[in-house]
Amino acid sequence: MKILLHICCGPCAVYPVEVLRQAGHEVEGFFYNPNIHPYQEFRRRMDTLEEYAGMVDLPVRWDQSYDLEEFLRQVVYREEQRCGLCYRMRLQRAARAAREGGFEAFTSTLLYSRHQQHELICRTAAAAGAEMGITFHYEDFRRGWQEGVAKSKELGLYRQPYCGCIFSERDRYARPAGRRNKARPES
């Protein structure tokens, strides 16, 4: 099958690309991630995917638009629903790109991460596929989490420390109130 693989970052693509190719699928990547913040992180992830794609001869379709404003418009006042809104935004674009590109199906590296909401991704991708008239190819890539991490480290790929959005960056780096340095006065 000819499959378009939505890719959030290079390291997350390592295992899914291998598995899909081993199954005999023709795989092409698709980069569209307007949620990533700040812009330097967006560029670093894009550059890392380009580096990885070159290593494994993976063709990639690039949507380099950095539509942060659209992402923020989607989630403002709905921050608790941000992941679902982000999944929908990216998976709808991937489904459209797959249909327009003549692919038989699409899938996403979001299905690789143990930190993402797997069932919500599946429901969102299936709905996007139905809406765009393209098959969503489901595969649980999480079983290869450790293998993908090890291989991405062997390849020397930049591994990002948070999901990508401004909220996940905050959640990763902001210290919980109980763990603040007591020597520093609260402001």
Annotated binding site: 8-9, 83, 86
Mean pLDDT value across residues 162-166: 78
pLDDT, the chain, mean:
90
Comparing C-alpha atoms, which of 25, 34, 52 is closest to residue 137? 25
Annotated binding site for [4Fe-4S] cluster: 8-9, 83, 86
User: Which distant-in-sequence residues (6+ apart) come within 8 Å of 170 by Cβ?
Assistant: none
Q: Which pLDDT score, from 0 to 100, does residue 162 have?
A: 78
Comparing C-alpha atoms, which of 13, 1, 7 is closest to residue 30? 7
Query: 86-130: per-residue pLDDT in tens?
Result: 899 999 999 999 999 999 999 999 999 999 999 999 999 999 999
User: Which distant-in-sequence residues (6+ apart) come within 8 Å of 92 by Cβ?
Assistant: 128, 131, 132
Fold of 2-171: Rossmann fold (3.40.50)
C-alpha distances out from residue 101 to 21, 95, 105, 141, 171, Å:
19, 10, 10, 24, 37
Query: 8-42: per-residue pLDDT in tens?
Result: 999 999 999 999 999 999 999 999 999 988 999 99
- In this structure, the strands spanning 60-62 and 105-108 are unpaired
Q: Which pLDDT score, from 0 to 100, does residue 101 have?
A: 98
Mean pLDDT value across residues 161-171: 79
Q: How many residues does the chain have?
A: 187
State how far the Cα of 46 lies from the Cα of 10, in Å rounded to an integer: 8
Mean pLDDT value across residues 170-177: 72
User: Which distant-in-sequence residues (6+ apart) come within 8 Å of 175 by Cβ?
Assistant: none
For the whole prediction, is pTM greater than 0.85?
Answer: yes
Q: Which pLDDT score, from 0 to 100, does residue 30 have?
A: 98
